[in-house]
Structure formats: structure tokens, C-alpha cells
Structure 1
Amino acid sequence: MRSSSTPVPLRSTVEDLSRRALLAAPFALAACDRFASAQTAPRHVPPLKSFAPCPVGTCVMTGQIRDPQWVDLVSTHFSQLTPEWEMKMEYILQEDGSRRWDAPDRIGAFARDFGLRLYGTTLIWYAQDHPWFNALPRARFGAEYDRYITDVVARYRGKVVGWDTVNEPVAEDGNGLRDSVWSRNLGADGYMVRAFQTAHAADPDAVLFLNDYNLENNPRKGATYLRLVERLLKAGAPIGGLGTQSHLDIEIPAGQTAAFFRELAQFGLPIHVSELDAGLRSDRRIDLRSDAERVRQQTARVAELTEAFVALPPAQRFAFTIWGVRATDSWLRRGDKDDGKDSPVLFDDAGNATPMFDAVAGAFRG
């Protein structure tokens, strides 16, 4: 899950539009001025969840559930919610080792009241360099690790359908695994096997996912992730599903995402597109692409990913989650990242459907 680091882009001068992108092109061209000026003309679009071949998710923070427009969009188009960060250790675990449950409980109640599935993220993440765990004597570390996972999973047993059990374990460049407080104390693979086993004991019915990002963007990282899955399964980890965050680089070569999904599907496990977005901005010092060209690249890459997901056997389509409802809800539009122009999700600042919505909807309909 992206909150502080941006996926490393892979650049390509080759850009082939997919069939879905061509179908969506009229919408994309009509939206170019929208991208440039953030002015939109509302148009009716059908509820995405009404024709999606799987649960359609988005992320939530408690402040958003007081926003009537956000609530209307979520209740109309989505069927699953993931807490963006208020179910992470950073929120739940306090400096004295106690637990804080107010925000995740509120999100759970909101999901229940609106008939939405609740998906949990994240139990163990390399970035959780928590001072309470750092202060533990080594003899207590494993027991407290187990206790934390058990406390969280057991509290939401029967309420959460699945968990990002281990999040982002693969190194940024794909060369091996990340170093973390967990790997240093429990072993590089050992902390992951233990997390899955402990979470499964706390809720045998929850689907437990290994989740990571840049798997489509960086083939080397995707390959390392696939080898890790194979290794953990052989070690007895009860992995129930595979999560790919899908923060897409719109300039990756056509066909690269579809190829990765074919590899991912070979395990036969449910797959979760867990945090989809596709920013229109670039890291280039000089970017001569027109707004229209950026939108065409975005819709082509999003269409390819959605088509690859829809092509999976029904049992492998766990959920398709968009990381943000409106453009202004996206992590890509926060702080110094926000130039007021990016449109990386399905709805714009005003809550109107974007060309990316059309790309996803077109692939869902087939």
C-alpha cells in the first residue's frame, strides 16, 4: 500500500493501445480538457458493482464517511472496503503496547450498515518499525508478534473476509527481500510463514494474502514475488490468495501486465487487485506528451489489467479494489504531490466518472 514511496516507473517508447482502450478513446478524448482544467460536465454512468464479475472495492478513512458525496459514490458503485491505514499497526498498537480500536471499529460498522464486505490491511509490513517492538527483549519478541496478530484477527473474525497478512516483502528493485525488524528477529522467510500460520489459527475462514506492489511495472520484482510465493507454500504457509497492488505506470510496455497475470494465475489461488490507481503525471524533467496522450496511455494500461483480471477463472477473482474514490481522495493527490491536475482513479474531483472508469467498465462488460 502506497503512502510514502512511489512505484519506480519503467519507461518505454512503445505504446500499443488495447482493444478496450480504443473503445474508450472517445471518452478519453472528451476528457482531455477535464484533465487540464478540472471542469466536468456530469454524465450518468451505471453502478459499477451492478455488472462487475467480482466484488469491487475502494479504500476508506474515517473522515470520509462523514462526506455525503463520498458515501453516495461508495454505496452506488462499490461492494468492498479496505481501511487505508487505520487498521495498520501504526494506528492500532500504542507506545505502551495497548491497542486502539476506535477507527477500525467505526469503519467496520460503516461497512456493515451499508452491506459492504470488509477487507483488512495490513497485519505485517516491513515499514512497521514500531518503537514498542524495537524495545522488546529478543526472548519476548516472537510471543508478542503472535499476540498482536492474534488480537487483531480475532477481533474482526467473521467480519473481515481477508487480510493483507504480509505486505510488501520484496525489495524495491526486485533483488531479494526487504530487511525489517521482523526479518531480523524471526528470519527472512520465517516471519512470513509465522504470520500466516498465526492469522489462520485466529480466523480459519479469512482469506490470507501476500500483497506487494510494482509487480506489473517491474518484471524482476514480479519474478521475485512469484518465487517467494512458491517457497512459502512449500514451507507450509497457509497463503489463501495473492495481492497485486497495481499502482500502474502508464508507460510500461503493452502486454507486460497481461503476461504477469498469466504467471500469477498458475498457482490457482484467488487474486486481489488490491490498490489500483494510474497517475497521469510523470517523473520526466521534460514531458512533451499531450494531456490526450497521457489519458490514452492510462486507459490502455488500465484496460489491459482489467481484461487480464476478468480472464481469470471465476474462483480466482477475489476482488478488484481502486485505491481512492475521487481524484482528491487519492494518496497521489496529497501534500506536495498535488498539482490539482492528476486524475488517477475512477472519479474526478467533482465525483464524475473519468476515462479510467470507462476502461474498467468496458473490460468488465467484455
Structure 2
Amino acid sequence: MRLPALIAIAALAGTLVAAPAAAATSLAQLATAKGVDIGVALDPNRLGEAAYKTIADTEFNLVVPENAMKWDATEPTQGQFTFTAGDTVAAYAAQTGKELYGHTLVWHSQLPNWVSGLDATALRTAMLNHVTTVATHFKGKVGSWDVVNEAFSDNGDGSRRSSVFQTKLGDGYIADAFRAARAADPGAKLCINDYSIENIGAKSTAIYNLVRDFKAQGVPIDCVGFQAHLILGQVPGDMRANLQRFADLGVDVRVTELDIRMATPPDATKLAQQASDYRAVVTNCLAVTRCQGVTVWGVTDKYSWIPGVFPGQGAALLWDDNYAAKPAYQAVAEALGGTTTPPAPAGCEVTYSVASQWNNGFTAAITITNTGSTAWSGWTLGFAFAAGQTVGQAWNATSTQSGSAVTLRNASYNATVAPGGAVSLGFNGTHTGSNPAPAAFTANGTACA
């Protein structure tokens, strides 16, 4: 501990060594108490990264394989199936007591080239064989399947997508896929999944009509997935009503791939709006009895698909690139009826002192020590000033402040901190006569322990 070395200046400076964090409720616990899912798209290749695994372990009660069960991953060569990555996700779900959501059996994208080269008869046989083989392999492990994904056009007029399946097999391929999935795994719920259908419009109405017709015709369908890849500030005002009209058809509904992107870099205003948007989506789901829950499409912005597809956009998830929980995390927790403290990716110790003080200014010195067993690939230090102090110029860190809340992030040259290693930083600030030390610190979103 470093407190004794600083006692001499404690009266002037205020010195704090953060205490261990108390046990806190997770998003998973809050969602389970509500009887709903809070899920995450999981990349099994990231489970070796301690921060990633800690969040996945703790914060979610459902996992969906991000890519591990798609056609290119499971049948890259016709008739030759491989389930290694999918089995890893299934095993992880079983070991951690999470529901497993299957994604996806029939989709026009991430499709091996050999599929598109088949004629209609061969394509239908291949599609039914793929659905049957994959669903049978995971029978008893997957609770629900996205049987058909993104079958409707991007143009939003309610027309079918001109995929290889639609072009060669016609409208009936969707019903055929659902019937094959039901035969392969009668215990799994079968869903159709799509994006830009969160509002009441031509595209969502086309899917509504499909579901209505399937129910009338006896085609097995149990649920509709609303992907919700949303843009900041654009949660549809009629989202709740739209979810409800599908539920009134006698199917479950769920938000399946939620992320809310913004123009980067993020700032306090954008993050506050994002928090409001996440809160709205979760609240809309909870207001509909048949809404099964909300799944976010990834753990951390560090690995989000958004920047690669939408240049200049990103920061769409609940944790930032450095695994710091964003305001949206707390908004989701509050929408689920509680408050939480997100897990720390590694232990830390913080010392804070006022090195000098004058009139209405002061200089603060901070040392952060990584007391965990895993190296940090980046760090974010958070604290709040209680007496209206403001942060000015910082060194060895970049600083932002929103009201009393201060965030200091690593520079490009000091992001990596080995176990037992430390980084020193500081800033000049202003005060109005009173300058108490912050009462607590968080590292990467969680109280230091």
C-alpha cells in the first residue's frame, strides 16, 4: 500500500488507495430476475482474452455464436461438415449455464461459393440437407434458431431479397427451411430474423404478413428477431407497438443484434444519447409480454463489425475499446430494474495526490498500478469531483469531463501495463476554494480491487 508515503501531504492533497469492490449485481442477474434474456454475440476465438471472457462470463445469460454456426463455418465444402467452432460456443454455454441461440441456418451472406453454382434442384437438396444436418448436430443444445436470416430486400419496399435461394427456389424456400428445421429439432424455437424492421413500415409489414400466413398454413414458426443495428438517436417511436403486433400473431419476439452506432470519436453528449437509446430499446422489449429479451452484437467496441462496414462510425456497444463500461451499460441495468458495477478486467491500485495548489488552481499526480495477473492493452480511469473542480491540461493521458465526472484514458505510448506495472500521469485543474480528493476511482469501468 502507498498510503503511508503520502501521509505528510494528505491534509493538503487528499490521498486514496481504492478499496476492494463489493459484490454487485450483473446484467445477467437483473435480466434473469425479470424472466428475460440479456445476450451477447460471442466469438470463441476471443475467450482467451481475460477481459473479454470476464464480461461474457458475468454479464450475459444467453450467447449466440457470432460466426461459428454460419454456412461458411459449418459446411465450407459440400457435404463436409465441421462443427469445431460451433461446438466451442455450445460447450461454453453449457459450462456457464447460459442459453444458446443458434445463428443462422439459411442466409445469403457468408455463403460458400459452391452453393451459388448449384441448379435449382441441387440447391433445394443442399439447403434442406444443410438445415437438417446442422440443426440435428446441435439438437438439445440450441434453444432457438434463426432459421432464415435477412430474406427481405434492403430497399425497404417489402419485396424479397434477390438471393440465390429466392432467385432459384422462389417464395417457398423459407417455409421449406422452417419445416426441415422443425423435423430436425422439434424442441427448438424457430425464428425469422431481419434488420430495419424495428418500426412499422413496408419491410416489417411484409414479414408480419409472412408470419401471419405461416401461422394460418401450419408452417412451424415460433419467433421473430429484430436485429436493431441502430443509429444514434434513431430508436423508432413505434418500436413497442411493432413488437406488440407481431406478438399478437402468437409468436415470440426478441431483439437479436443490438448495437447503436455513432460518428466517432464519441463524446459525452453522444454517449448520453446512446445510453438513452439503449434504455429505450430494453424498455420497449420489457413492455411486450412475449419479448424474450435483448442481445447485443458483441462485447466490446474493440471487435465490433461497425467501423469496417461504416467508415467513420463506431462506438456502438456497451464496452469501449479498452473494456470500460459506457453510460449505456448503466442505462441497460436501470431499464432491467437495478444498478450494477461491471467486472474489472484486472485488479488495480490508484494513488492520488495534489502536488501543488494555489489560489484557484492545483496540480494533481496519479499513479495506477496493475495488481492483476493479466496485462492491460489499454486503460480508462474514472472518478468524480465533489466540489466543482475541473480538469485542464493533462499529461500521459487524454482527459474528458462531463459535469463532475472525469475520464482519463491512456496515451498511445502507455496503453500496455504489465502485471505489477504502473503508469504515472497528472493534470492541472481549477477549484473554487475547496479541493477534496475524489472518493473513489474506477479502472476500465470498475472500482479498483
**TM-score normalised by length of structure 2:** 0.65
CA distance in 1, matches of 2:29, 2:174: 37
1:309-320 aligned within 5 A: 309-313=285-289, 316-320=290-294
Instruction: Provide the residue aligned with 2:77 in structure 1.
Output: 95
Checking the alignment, whether the CA contact within 8 Å between 1:174 and 1:224 is kept in structure 2 is no
Q: Aligned pair in 2 of structure 1 residues 293, 221: CA closer, same or farther (>3 Å)?
A: farther
d(CA) in 2 for partners of 1:181, 1:76: 40
Structure 2: 5+ residue stretches without partners: 1-19, 339-449
Give SS of 1:280's match. strand
Deviation at 1:270, TM superposition (A): 1.4
Superposed, 1:344-355 pairs within 5 Å as 344-355=316-327
Deviation digits for residues 28-55 of structure 1 (CA, Å, limit 9, x no counterpart):
xxxxxxxxxxxxxx99863111111212
CA contact (8 A) 2:272 2:328 kept: no
TM-aligned CA distance change 1:227 to 1:250, over 3 Å = farther
Tell me whether 1:248 sits opposite 2:230 in the alignment.
Answer: yes
Q: Find the counterpart in structure 2 of residue 182 from structure 1.
A: 165
Whether the 8 Å contact between 2:65 and 2:89 is mirrored in structure 1 is: yes
Is structure 2 residue 311 aligned with structure 1 residue 327? Answer: no
CA–CA distance in structure 1, aligned partners of residues 148 and 266 of structure 2? 39
Which residue pairs with 1:264 in the alignment? 246
Q: Does 1:123 align with 2:105?
A: yes
C-alpha displacement of 1:223? 2.3
| Cα distance change, pair 226–66 in 1 and its aligned pair in 2 (3 A) | same
CA separation of 1:100 and 1:46: change in aligned 2, threshold 3 A = same
- Report 1:165-314 matches (<5 A): 165-175=147-157, 176-188=159-171, 190-216=172-198, 219-252=201-234, 255-281=237-263, 291-313=267-289
Query: Residue 137 of structure 1: CA displacement?
Result: 4.1
Contact 1:217 1:249 in 2 (8 A): no
Pair 1:334–1:66, CA change in 2 (3 A)? farther
Instruction: Compute the displacement of 1:217 (Å).
Output: 5.7
**Offset of residue 329 of structure 1:** 2.5
Over 3 Å counting, the alpha-carbon distance change for 1:230 and 1:65 in structure 2 is same
Which residue does 1:70 correspond to in 2?
Answer: 52
Asked whether the 8 Å contact 2:199–2:242 carries over to 1, the reply is no
The separation in 2 between residues aligned to 1:317 and 1:75, in whole angstroms, is: 23
Residue ranges of structure 1 left out of the alignment (5+ in a row): 1-41, 283-288
Give the number of the structure with larger relative contact order, counting CA–CA contacts within 8 Å between residues 6 or more apart: 1
Residues 1:299 and 1:218: Cα distance change in structure 2 (over 3 Å): farther
1:198–1:255 CA distance, 2 compared to 1 (3 A): same
| Cα deviations by residue, 1:224-247 (Å, 9 ceiling, x for unpaired) | 222222233333321111100111
Q: 1:254 to 1:127 in 2, by over 3 A?
A: closer
CA distance in 1 between counterparts of 2:165 and 2:218 reads 18
Aligned in 2, Cα 1:354/1:222: closer, same or farther, shift over 3 Å? same
Q: CA deviation at 1:96?
A: 4.2
Selected match of 2:30 from 51, 59, 72:
51
CA distance in 1 between counterparts of 2:186 and 2:215 reads 17
Matched residue count: 314
Return the structure number with greater helix share.
1
Q: Identity of paired residues, percent?
A: 31
TM-score w.r.t. the length of structure 1 is 0.79
Query: 1:33: which partner in 2?
Result: none
CA offset at residue 143 of structure 1? 2.3
When Rg is computed on C-alpha atoms for both structures, the one with the higher figure is 2
Partner of 1:114: 96
CA RMSD, aligned part only?
2.5
Give the 3-state SS of the residue equivalent to 2:127 in structure 1.
Answer: helix
Alpha-carbon separation, structure 2, partners of 1:81 and 1:295? 25
1:24 aligns with none
Looking at structure 2, the residues matched to 333 and 354 of structure 1 have their Cα atoms a distance apart, in angstroms, of 18
Matches within 5 A, 1:79-94: 79-94=61-76
Tell me the equivalent position of 1:135: 117
- Cα distance in 2 for partners of 1:167, 1:336 equals 21
Identify the match of residue 146 of structure 1 among 107, 128, 131. 128
Deviations 1:244-266 (A, max 9, x none): 01111223266232332233332
> Which secondary structure does the structure 2 equivalent of 1:238 belong to?
coil
Residue identity matched to 1:177? R
